[in-house]
Copies of this chain bind each other. A is one copy, B any other.
Amino acid sequence: MATIRDVAREAGVSIATVSRVYNQTSLVSEPTVLHVRAVAARMDYWPNGAARSLITNRTNALGVLLPDLYGEFFSEVIRGIDLAARREKYQVLVSSSHSDTEALVAAVRSMRGRIDGLVAMAPDAHSAAAIRGFTRNFPVVLLEPGLEVGECGAISLDNYSGALEMGRHLLGLGHRGIATIRGPLGNVDAEERLRGFLAAFEEAEVPFNESLVIQGDFTESSGFLCAELLLKHRPRPTAVFAANDCMAIGLISALRDAGLRVPQDLAVTGFDDIAIAHYMSPPLTTVRVDAYELGDRAVRQLVPLARGTKGAQCTHEIVPTSLVVRASCGSNQVRSAEAARRRPGGRVMGGEASADIPDAGPREMPS
């Protein structure tokens, strides 16, 4: 592999000149630039990134730490990160699925000297604390952090408002016997969604029966299992808000097995707006969460910090969520929010390439 020295020798100039051709071109005479460029191209030369970052102390790369890469959510987060990073001329070093805090710390540590900043989503509070510790090494932006953020930037989803809207919507439809399946204890999303949902009742001065908060764990099967508890409750609730779509899907499945109709016998709603939500029968009323935006904003906030742009500040941004009313809640409201569902920049390419089923508009899934 040709080095700067080879090119300099071959072109009959000093290495400093070759370097300048790639960095401060204006300081080199036009003919020299052209000549060096030509020689470099012929020798297939390109500056070595590692050497470059050693002296400049900048890598032009961002680290990305996610609990997982699989699935609609993370896949979108990382796409948002990737696109924003490219726009800003940054490379992306990813790492995911760390079994424990130790593994996670090791991963970040090994990124040292290779990244100018870090976007991280912690799988738990312990890991979050560890990640915060890296602020001394490079700027950090946390995705969906717990409460206290400290020296880091942070982007979180407006789980609270989304759930609040959902509560208002169900109350607005006249429901009073309303249950909710909450997510796991200690999970930030789960707590906020519950808090927002209950706030709607407070706001409307409608009492909420606490025995109608059922514990779920965000899996489809937990939603399935909740059906039994729900159905034996007296008086039987008329609506259920599941804290995510998976649980709503499990619940609906169980209700159907029990011979109940959704939404006529029981209205069901979810949270996340995963792809299937739109294609189910009945289509699921839920809250749309914009994962792409989460990644995009994180990079937007991180880059100035990474560049050391003066005046760059850590802030805590909130990504809005929005109610998507479909049929499963029994509302006959116009589905205006649907338009927003089209993925920004979603591409369809070869074969199994994309799971992005274009919004079918008024058509529904065959049933």
Contacts and interface: CB of A to CB of B under 8 A. Distances in A.
Nearest to A261: B366
A174 interface: no
A239 interface: no
B348 A218 contact: yes
A262 to B, nearest CB: 7
Given A220-B357, A220-B358, A73 B110 contact: no
A179 interface: no
A50 B46 contact: no
Contacts of A365: 249, 253, 280-281
A94 interface: yes
B244 A352 contact: yes
Contact of A95 (B53, B69, B92): B92
Given A51-B54, A276-B275, A366-B280, A109 B347 contact: no
Copies in the complex: 2
B92 A353 contact: no
Contacts of A306: none
Contact of A97 (B1, B86, B281): B86
A113 B51 contact: yes
Interface stretch (A5-13, A147-155, A165-173, A183-191): A183-191
Contacts of A60: 110
A91 B93 contact: yes
Contacts of A357: 220, 246, 249, 276
Contacts of A21: none
Contact of A70 (B111, B246, B354): B354
A137 B74 CA distance: 32
Contacts of A44: 136-137
Interface in A159-201: 159, 183-184, 187-190, 193
Nearest to A219: B348
A289 interface: yes
A226 interface: no
A189 B350 contact: yes
A114 B271 CA distance: 40
A19 to B, nearest CB: 14
Nearest to A272: B352
Contacts of A282: 366
15 contacts: A60-B110, A67-B350, A70-B356, A72-B352, A74-B353, A123-B350, A189-B351, A190-B351, A218-B351, A219-B348, A244-B351, A272-B351, A272-B352, A274-B355, A275-B355
For the complex of A and B, list the 9 residue pairs with the smallest distance between their C-beta atoms, beginning with the closest: A189-B351, A48-B113, A72-B355, A75-B75, A272-B352, A49-B113, A256-B366, A71-B354, A71-B355
Interface of A: 1, 44, 46-54, 59-61, 67-76, 78-79, 82-83, 86, 91-97, 107, 109-114, 123, 136-137, 144, 157, 159, 183-184, 187-190, 193, 217-221, 224, 243-244, 246, 249-250, 252-253, 255-257, 262, 271-272, 274-276, 279-282, 289, 291, 343, 345-358, 360, 363-367
Given A51-B54, A253-B364, A276-B357, 6 more contacts: A50-B50, A67-B353, A144-B350, A249-B357, A271-B351, A280-B365
